[in-house]
């Protein structure tokens, strides 16, 4: 186990509660926030702490109130016109100052582009360590420490990291890994609005203009059905069949790292240890052998369907349904069956 840098001046008894750094983009709460709330509530049972969500932004009161319906004890809404658009300086400074003042025991951040940006900066500002890209969190039953597990050495090992003498204990968590918090009908939590303790001087980079890409983005973490291709598709043209099948099912296209590295498909489709972690209702693994790095990113799918010509492929040991055959023959037959059954729905 690795250990964070020791700070002898910290009184651990002064720290309490689990904080979730909520993420919002253009006024909408990112799904990873709901996942972190679910994980935070699970951890809180082991140390009898409250779950608090901290969200920075401006004029997003309606979205903030929605979070109460996931069973949180409290929401701290850091409000300021300076926080309307995301800025590294503004978000990191306002949140870290609040952490230093309120002293939470644990702080969880989504391992998104925004979370990976501000997480390390917040940790540096408050003088603690940060475990990045965690795939599992737990509480040590002996002394209540946070056990932070993440892949190491390319996913060949899982390292459990602790922060025994620094606070807060901070971790970023991969989207799609943790189960979302359940919706509650009668929330008991409340919202505390805090005015951000920042000025324009604190924000070095200014947002002048926002230009949106015309390129279609892929959100694999929210997909109910994913059809993924591996080396077995044998080239970029093989993904045309994968895309056709995914479109017919109303799903998204995934891919193994080998396909992305070969330039057959964009990296936004990559599933696995070094890609996106997913948990759809159905995951079709087409021409995917089942390397441990790929399995780490999709093994929590509700149902896994494997199609492979090799009957000894590791993927058949974890799948719910296996088809030994050429995907170029199997997938067209499945598309035909879906077309015949117009009521197909997940």
* Annotation: binding site for FAD: 231, 256-257, 270-274, 287-294, 308
Pairing of strands 146-152, 136-139: antiparallel
E strand or H helix at 323: strand 321-324
> Alpha-carbon distance 154 to 42, whole Å?
28
Binding-site positions read 231, 256-257, 270-274, 287-294, 308
Tokens for 320, please give them: 């719910």
Question: How many residues does this entry show for the chain?
Answer: 346
Q: Could you tell me which residues come within 8 angstroms of residue 253 by beta carbon, excluding any fewer than 6 positions away? A: 218, 226, 227, 228, 229, 239, 242, 243, 246, 265, 269
CB 225 within 8 A of CB 251: yes
Looking at the DSSP bridge assignments, the partners of residue 160 are 149
- Positive or negative, the CA dihedral 148, 151, 153, 156 is positive
Structure tokens at 288: 């995917």
Residue 6 burial (CB count, 10 A): 10
Nearest Cα to Cα of residue 110 among 226, 252, 276, 255:
276
Contact of 254 with 271, CB cutoff 8 Å: yes
Q: Which residues make Cβ contacts (< 8 Å) with residue 328, sequence separation at least 6?
A: 238, 241
Contact between 58 and 24 (Cβ < 8 Å): no
How far is residue 38 CA from its own chain's centroid?
12
Name the nearest CA neighbour of 243 among 281, 278, 284, 302.
284
- Which of 252, 257, 278 lies closest to 267 in space, CA to CA? 257
Does residue 299 have a cis bond before it (omega within 30 degrees)?
no
3-state secondary structure of 285: strand
């Amino acid at each position: 186990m690795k250990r964070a840098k020791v700070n002898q001046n910290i009184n651990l008894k002064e720290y309490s509660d689990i904080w979730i750094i909520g993420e919002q983009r253009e006024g909408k709460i990112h799904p990873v926030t709901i996942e972190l709330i679910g994980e935070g509530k699970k951890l809180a049972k082991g140390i009898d702490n409250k779950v608090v969500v901290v969200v920075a932004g401006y004029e997003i009161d309606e979205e903030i109130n929605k979070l109460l319906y996931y069973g949180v004890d409290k929401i701290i809404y850091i409000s300021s016109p300076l926080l309307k658009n995301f800025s590294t300086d503004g978000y990191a400074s306002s949140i870290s100052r609040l952490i230093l003042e309120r002293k939470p025991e644990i702080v969880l951040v989504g391992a998104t582009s925004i979370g990976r940006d501000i997480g390390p900066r917040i940790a540096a500002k408050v003088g603690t360590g940060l475990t990045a890209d965690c795939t599992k969190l737990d509480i040590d039953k002996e002394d209540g420490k946070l056990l932070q597990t993440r892949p190491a050495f390319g996913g060949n090992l899982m390292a459990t990291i602790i922060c025994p003498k620094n606070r807060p204990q901070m971790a970023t968590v991969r989207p799609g890994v943790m189960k979302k918090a359940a919706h509650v009908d009668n929330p008991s939590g409340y919202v505390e609005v805090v005015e951000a303790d920042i000025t324009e001087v604190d924000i070095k980079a200014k947002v002048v203009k926002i230009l949106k890409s015309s390129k279609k983005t892929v959100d694999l973490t929210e997909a109910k059905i994913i059809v993924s291709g591996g080396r077995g598709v044998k080239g970029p043209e093989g993904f045309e069949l994968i895309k056709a099948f995914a479109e017919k099912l109303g799903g998204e296209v995934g891919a193994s790292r080998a396909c992305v590295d070969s330039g057959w498909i964009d990296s936004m489709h990559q599933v696995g240890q070094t890609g996106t972690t997913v948990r759809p209702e159905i995951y079709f693994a087409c021409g995917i052998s089942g390397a441990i790095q790929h399995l780490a990113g999709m093994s929590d799918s509700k149902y896994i369907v494997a199609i492979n010509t090799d009957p000894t492929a590791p993927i058949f040991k974890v799948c719910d349904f296996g088809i030994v055959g050429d995907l170029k023959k199997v997938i067209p037959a499945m598309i035909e069956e879906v077309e015949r059954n117009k009521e197909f729905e997940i």
